[in-house]
Amino acid sequence: MIYPITVYGDPLLRQTAKPINKDYPELAKLIEDMFETMYFSDGVGLAAPQIGLSIRIFVIDATTYADEEPELANFKKAFINPEIIERTGDEWALNEGCLSLPEIREDIPRPEMVRIKYLDENFTEHDETYSGFAARVIQHEYDHLDGILFIDLLNPLKRRLLKSKLTAISKGKISTKYRQKLPGKK
Ligand code: NI
């Protein structure tokens, strides 16, 4: 099932999402649907709040970037109840976008490396370190679970310049190939 994407202006995107336990109903199906929604929407990552669920899960598939970084060849994963333990290395900027912020792209500085603990879809615990593009996508998706959007990381001037665009997004005036769930609408 392909979910509509919750866009900017919906308070759900600003909430701190809740951890889930093993009994979460139809978890395997949810993860499958998250991947399906992400592929349909041409995203590299998708966090549960973006499909209207305030729970701590995100999915990433960066395998198409393996040409640039060979270690991404198998990087298709679901992260459940993740916890970033450490962010290290120099900050570097990359142009980011977000399905919840259609047509906005900005250079966002983030630390080079992250160490993250998480559960996979079988609730097996992992403790891994990532760098480069993987670390970037992880940090972007992880932020969604804490109600943070990449525009929050811009300086105040740049944020002000985006104001009218953000208003347009929240009113559903930016069309996308995927369906949008607009603030205050079912
Ligand atoms: Ni995003």
Ligand 1 centre to CA of 126 (Å) is 23
How many angstroms separate the alpha carbon of residue 141 from the centre of ligand 1?
6
Residues carrying an active site annotation: 141
135: CA distance to ligand 1 center in Å?
A: 14
**Ligand 1 center–CA 21 separation, angstroms:** 24
Instruction: State which residues have CB under 5 angstroms from ligand 1, the bound ion.
Output: 98
Spatial separation of the C-alpha atoms in residues 101 and 98, rounded to whole Å? 5
What's the pLDDT tens digit per position in 86-144? 999 999 999 999 999 999 999 999 999 999 999 999 999 999 999 999 999 999 999 99
Q: Cβ neighbours of residue 126 under 8 Å, at least 6 residues apart?
A: 117, 118, 119, 120
- Looking at CATH, the fold of the domain delimited by 5-181 is given as Peptide Deformylase (3.90.45)
Q: Could you read off the pLDDT of 43-73 as tens digits, one per residue?
A: 999 999 999 999 999 999 999 999 999 999 9
Segments making up each domain of the chain, as ranges: 5-181
Q: Is the pTM of this model over 0.85?
A: yes
Q: CA dihedral in degrees (160, 166, 168, 174; nearest 10)?
A: 130
Quote the ligand 1 centre to 123 CA distance (angstroms).
24
